[in-house]
Amino acid sequence: MTTAAIILAAGRGTRAGGDLPKQWQALAGRPVVAHALAAFAGMPRILVIHPDDRARAAAVAEGVQLVEGGATRDASVRNALEALAGQGVSRVLIHDGARPLVSGAVIGRVLAGLDDHPAAAPALVVSDALWTGVQGLVTGTRDRTGLYRAQTPQGFHFDAILDAHRRHGGGAADDVEVARAAGLDVAIVEGEEDNLKLTFPGDFARAEAILKGRGMDIRLGNGFDVHAFCEGDHVWLCGVKVPHSRGLLGHSDADVGMHALTDAIYGALADGDIGRHFPPSDPQWKGAESHIFLRHAAELARARGFAISNCDVTLICERPKIGPHAEAMREALAAIMALEVGRISVKATTSERLGFTGREEGIAAIATATLVKL
């Protein structure tokens, strides 16, 4: 499962004032859109831009695909979706580049919403009284029951939203409107007050204050796991089925590399290990595929506001040979965790014929994961 992010930055944003469109104005020393891009670090990303901004975009969007926008918001989204078509994307997050403070927790809740629905989006319940007005005078009130303030990222199953945009007549306020026009159910997940959209000059001061209040939080976690050999004709390692003269013994599928990496993420969160979240005494996890554990750990990190910066897995064994499968393992782990392959390392070593791995009694794995608070 691959999740991609589309960040929209093709508008002109004149209400914010200044000499540049709001997404290119400075916020805490960086362009607004650079903050938005960083929130989705680790995912394949598309930045939708105005043709006049290509040079600015190239300076802040290294490794990010650039797509020129259309005359309207929905046309810009359509261009980005078409650029992603055929790239194996299963889920997509569509985010306003003028929302630079979106947290990993909001992103995590949207992704979790997509587990049970074709679309999910963050929102805040309207709690203030609503008025109508003309020329500065109150002319009436409106019932706020059932009203929400929409935010982004709005998440979708990729094929469904692409088809919805292809069939839509245009003029939608956002992608939820496009999805609903196509008959898709959209789950509402909890947004955050800090996930503001920069619109007016005063919004920049508020965003600066929020950023100053956020301290840098970098977490490092380690994981270690061992599984003994048993009868069999293959082993599962980092999500890849590797032919071998023996299998690995374990309560689940015994993917020693994925188990070590899962524990590394839990460790960085100070939240125990696989056994705490998926007890071996529970029969439902007997023979379970280890991607269930790793995806849970990655989504838990996002739900707590962390991005996974990088992961490193070392497999320790004499055989099977890992090198021919290392790239496939990186790709499998990246898909499970919704990360760029470039953030994942898989390598192997032997123990020089020493110890249980040297005697080919089993395989060990060491993993490290770095988490960064968004």
CATH code at 218-373: 3.30.1330.50
CATH (residue range 3-213): 3.90.550.10
Structure tokens at 126: 């309207």
- pTM listed for this prediction: 0.69
Q: Of 10-19, 157-166, 214-223, 299-308, which gets the smallest average pLDDT?
A: 10-19
213 pLDDT more than 80: no
Residue 19: its pLDDT value, please? 79
Determine the pLDDT at residue 25. Answer: 93
Average pLDDT of the segment spanning 90-104: 96
Q: What's the rounded Cα separation, in Å, for the pair 221 and 269? A: 8
- Alpha-carbon distances of 224 from 30, 221, 296, rounded to whole Å: 39, 10, 18
Please state the rounded mean pLDDT for residues 41-60.
92
Judged by DSSP in three states, 19 sits in: coil
**Worst-scoring range by mean pLDDT, 88-97, 298-307, 316-325?**
298-307
Check residue 141 and give its pLDDT.
96
| Two structure tokens written together for 305 | 């506001």
Q: What pLDDT, on the 0 to 100 scale, is given for residue 1?
A: 61
Domain boundaries, the chain: 3-213, 218-373
- Count how many residues are written for the chain: 374
β-pairing, 91-96 vs 3-9, is parallel
Mean pLDDT of 303-318: 92
Question: CA 59 to CA 24: how far, in whole Å?
Answer: 11
What are φ and ψ of residue 285, in 5° steps? -95, 5
Express each pLDDT in 53-91 by its tens digit.
999 999 888 889 999 999 999 999 999 999 999 999 999
pLDDT, tens only, 312-333: 999 999 999 999 999 999 999 9
Give SS3 for 324.
Answer: helix
Q: pLDDT band for position 307 (50/70/90)?
A: confident
Categorize the per-residue pLDDT at 41 as very low, low, confident or very high, splitting at 50, 70 and 90: confident
pLDDT digits (tens, 9 = 90+) for 132-191: 999 999 999 999 999 999 999 999 999 999 999 999 999 999 999 999 999 999 999 999
Q: Percentage of the chain with pLDDT > 70? A: 99
